[in-house]
Structure 1
Amino acid sequence: MDIKLFVTDLDGTLLPSGAEVPRRNIEAAQRAVRAGVTVTIATGRMYRAALPVARALGVDVPIITYNGAVIKSVSGKVYDENFLPPDVVREVLAFCRARDWHVQLYADDVLYFAEHDVYAVAYEENQALRGETVGWDGLAAHAEHVAKLLVISDGAEQTAERVAALNEAFGGRVQAMRSNPAYTEVVVPGVTKASALRKLASMLSVPLDAVMAIGDSNNDLPMLQAAGHSVAMGNALPEVKAVCEFSVGTCEEGGFAEAIERYVL
């Protein structure tokens, strides 16, 4: 294999939950860069939350954020943006409000909550950032330039129900997907980490058979299937492991660095 572009998921892959990037992962990424490989991130996180991680890796490349909705370089250059229509955003908010679901939105790379509840507090701690609490009417007032909405539940079964309910209710006007056991991501239909990976590879003139992707969750599946080569983390879901060419240790065991050491370098 001659890998020229290495695309990594963030949470549960490059980054242990709520932790800094492990030194071994930083060193592996920098070794790959010195070998001529472009190392970048594809994450469901907002750009502002992904930026410190990209900086920790020491790379200034386009990074894929909001599950593929926005591609933007570390230095701030925008390569691609996909925003939900404002009327659809307001309908999704009303749908969630009627069911008393926690939903938050991201407009112009600012995080907004209706209430600063236990879900909001936990999210802020996990992402190492702060959002703005604006009430339900305030959320609706920030319906422009929304890259995604996030519904937070109490577990995988509830998340699966909410993904199905949103996809059924909005009939292709939004795309809802699970990104971890508690998170339902709502984005523009057709926008995935895979669509962004293809755009990024094209921008960099890298053929897909020279692209390797690594991940652990459902929202990584399209990206892993689009890349020429794919790696599943040891902590990946069974359906992720089933489609990947290679597997490595868990996030806590340094599976990211293992992938670079074994399959890139």
Structure 2
Amino acid sequence: MTASRNAGPGYAWIVTDLDGTLVDRNLGLVPRSAEALRRYRECGGTVVIATGRNEESAAPYHRELGLDTPMILYNGARITDPRTGDRLVDLDLGPVWPPLRDLVLPALPVGVGAVGFSGHTAHVLRDAPVLADYARRDRIVLLGDPPEEPPTKVMLISGAQHPSRLADLTALHCPKALLVQSEDTYLEVLPPGAGKEAALRELAVRYGMDTARIAAIGDNPNDTGMVRLAGLGAAVGDGHPQVLAAADIVVTSCSQGAVADLVGRILDGPLP
């Protein structure tokens, strides 16, 4: 990956979320957006994926797009270089894990499931019916045995829209954890120092890229930081109000080609 490429009027990188931004509810890349990213790369632009997914879950989309760039995974708790297999950033929950395991998980409301991610594997920490749909959507296998090491992240998944209740409970016992909402019913418990914004800063420094020359797009609260950080922040039209409020521009819905709209603004204008 290089920082010297240029595309259009100065936005050399596009950093895009996957689910609800580039990937639709049928779990496929939106064709219009995928084609637009191909055009952007042909013009010299660099594309980076930033997602809450892990390597196994995100890699098929990365390959389908023909990318060789680093992937921001686990909402910024890990950055990997697919070319070498190196982990450029690799955080875990460390001291947050014991109170999370011993105090938070047993106190979760009925029907809330929990999944812990460690290494390349996902482990059921608290079973619930909602986990079957989650595993199908993210195309992951859930293991029944607990992780041997502190997880990279823990997902709390409910069948109802109450992440704020889960956040209050988690913050009470794990005040140093980073808590992000990645869907209406998902609360992610991340290590201190994680987050897509922090990961994007790290990549920009590593490759000598001015964040003013980066465009970023997302649809949920976990995308807000990187959308604010980027020189051009875009919100998916049917995204969360928090992201819409933080963005410089609002584009169309995911299914209609949100990322394609962003590429069009960069390559063809007009820009704010």
Secondary structure of the 1:252 match is helix
Please name the residue that 2:114 is paired with.
103
Please name the residue that 1:217 is paired with.
220
RMSD: 1.6
CA–CA separation in structure 2 for the residues paired with 1:167 and 1:145: 18
Give, as a single letter, the amino acid of the residue that structure 1 aligns with 2:65.
Answer: L
Q: Report if the CA contact (8 A) 1:212-1:230 is conserved.
A: yes
Q: Which runs of 5+ in 1 are unaligned?
A: none
CA–CA separation in structure 2 for the residues paired with 1:2 and 1:128: 36
Return the offset for 1:114.
3.6
CA–CA separation in structure 1 for the residues paired with 2:223 and 2:139: 22
Q: Which runs of 4+ in 1 moved over 4 A?
A: none
Secondary structure of the 2:21 match is coil
Q: Is 1:113 matched with 2:113? A: no
Return the offset for 1:93.
2.1
Cα deviation digits, residues 93-152 of structure 1 (max 9, x gap): 222123354111000020111466422210111012212122xxxx2xx15152100000
Q: Is 1:82 matched with 2:91? A: yes
CA–CA separation in structure 2 for the residues paired with 1:22 and 1:211: 22
Return the offset for 1:191.
1.2
Cα deviation digits, residues 204-247 of structure 1 (max 9, x gap): 22101100100011000111111111001011111211111111
CA–CA separation in structure 1 for the residues paired with 2:127 and 2:175: 30
Give, as a single letter, the amino acid of the residue that structure 1 aligns with 2:17.
Answer: D
The correspondence of residues 1-265 of structure 1 with structure 2, limited to 5 A, is: 1-75=9-83, 76-85=85-94, 87-94=95-102, 95-99=104-108, 100=110, 101-114=112-125, 117-134=128-145, 139=146, 142-144=147-149, 146-156=151-161, 158-172=162-176, 174-264=177-267
Q: Which runs of 5+ in 2 are unaligned?
A: 1-8
Q: Report if the CA contact (8 A) 1:90-1:143 is conserved.
A: no
Q: Report if the CA contact (8 A) 1:216-1:237 is conserved.
A: yes
Secondary structure of the 2:52 match is coil
Cα deviation digits, residues 3-62 of structure 1 (max 9, x gap): 111100111001012421122222111111111111011111112111111111110110
CA–CA separation in structure 1 for the residues paired with 2:10 and 2:134: 38
Secondary structure of the 1:123 match is helix
Give, as a single letter, the amino acid of the residue that structure 2 aligns with 1:56.
Answer: E
Please name the residue that 2:6 is paired with.
none
CA–CA separation in structure 2 for the residues paired with 1:264 and 1:112: 43
Once the two structures are aligned, what percentage of the paired residues are identical?
A: 29
Cα deviation digits, residues 130-179 of structure 1 (max 9, x gap): 12122xxxx2xx151521000001232x211111221232222x122211
CA–CA separation in structure 1 for the residues paired with 2:150 and 2:165: 27
Q: Report if the CA contact (8 A) 2:97-2:150 is conserved.
A: no
CA–CA separation in structure 2 for the residues paired with 1:116 and 1:51: 26
Secondary structure of the 2:180 match is strand
The alignment of Structure 1 onto Structure 2 pairs a total of residues equal to: 256
TM-score of the pair, normalised by structure 1: 0.91
Secondary structure of the 1:235 match is coil
Q: Report if the CA contact (8 A) 1:214-1:230 is conserved.
A: yes
Q: Report if the CA contact (8 A) 2:130-2:159 is conserved.
A: no
Return the offset for 1:91.
2.2
Return the offset for 1:253.
0.8
CA–CA separation in structure 2 for the residues paired with 1:88 and 1:115: 17
TM-score of the pair, normalised by structure 2: 0.89
CA–CA separation in structure 1 for the residues paired with 2:26 and 2:148: 29
